[in-house]
Amino acid sequence: MEAISHAGTVLGVLATDGVVLAAEKKVTGKLLDLSASKEGGYGGSGEKIFLLNSNVIGGVAGLTADANSLVNYARSAAQEHLLNYNEDIPVELLAQRLCDLKQGYTQYGGLRPFGVSLLYAGYDPHYQFQLYHSDPSGNYSGWKATCIGANNGTAQSLLKQEYKDDITVEDAIGLVMRTMSKTMDSTTLGSEKLEFATLTLDPVTKEPKAKIYRPSEVDVLLKKFDLAKKDEDAEMKTA
């Protein structure tokens, strides 16, 4: 629990036509090689936001190694469901599967629980778009907007003030961006500190479409909301 309250903030907002997820990356620095996160078939840059199944995106806060293990388990559970039932796993069922695993580690001695909280943003035909949160004890609950990690109290109260029940994905992206910029420790935002993802319905196929933004796309989004890091050199020149 302690590790989670220090972990990078992960924020989720449920909209009428989709779900939005954003996360603050903690592991950064000039010398960190980020080239891998720019390329690749996009399942995420591999720190905070992961594609768990074609209809569910997960955001993690806590011990990274534990989180990787849980993400792996979630992906297996989702594929197992696909094998047995030939359908995408319902979002709540996936959350339940992980919570059953997490709960097990609170019951028996000698083993350490997973130090991870997760947000699940997903879609299924039963309850349409959904947002769930699970903690290390194996408790889970559904939310309209919620936040885990550092400063989650501040973010939560900001969300409570600004959230409206008929919010669209477009507005939700704005809400998430504004809330993120206020809660994050750093004053300026950039793609090296932020991960971002949305889950919507494909207008043609009506199938869920998960989009985890690439670093370049995150920068475009930040510029759109005027939260991007100002080019310091440019400022110096004009001064």
Q: Using CB under 8 A as the criterion, which residues of the chain lie in contact with another protein when the complex forms? A: 84-87, 90, 92-93, 125-126
Residue 126 CB, shortest distance to another protein, in Å, is 5
Distance of CA 32 to the CA centre of its chain: 22
Residue 142 CB, shortest distance to another protein, in Å, is 13
Using the CB atoms, write b or e for 70-98: b if 16+ within 10 Å. bbebbbebbeebeeeeeebbbbbebbbbb
Cβ distance to another protein smaller for residue 100 or 185: 100
- What is d(CA 108, CA 97) in angstroms, rounded to the nearest whole number? 18
Cβ distance to another protein smaller for residue 44 or 90: 90
Residue 78 CB, shortest distance to another protein, in Å, is 14
Residue 80 CB, shortest distance to another protein, in Å, is 12
CB 192: neighbour CB atoms within 10 A?
A: 18
Cβ distance to another protein smaller for residue 49 or 95: 95
Cβ distance to another protein smaller for residue 77 or 175: 77
- What is d(CA 112, CA 108) in angstroms, rounded to the nearest whole number? 9
The bridge status of strand 49-53 relative to strand 18-24 is unpaired
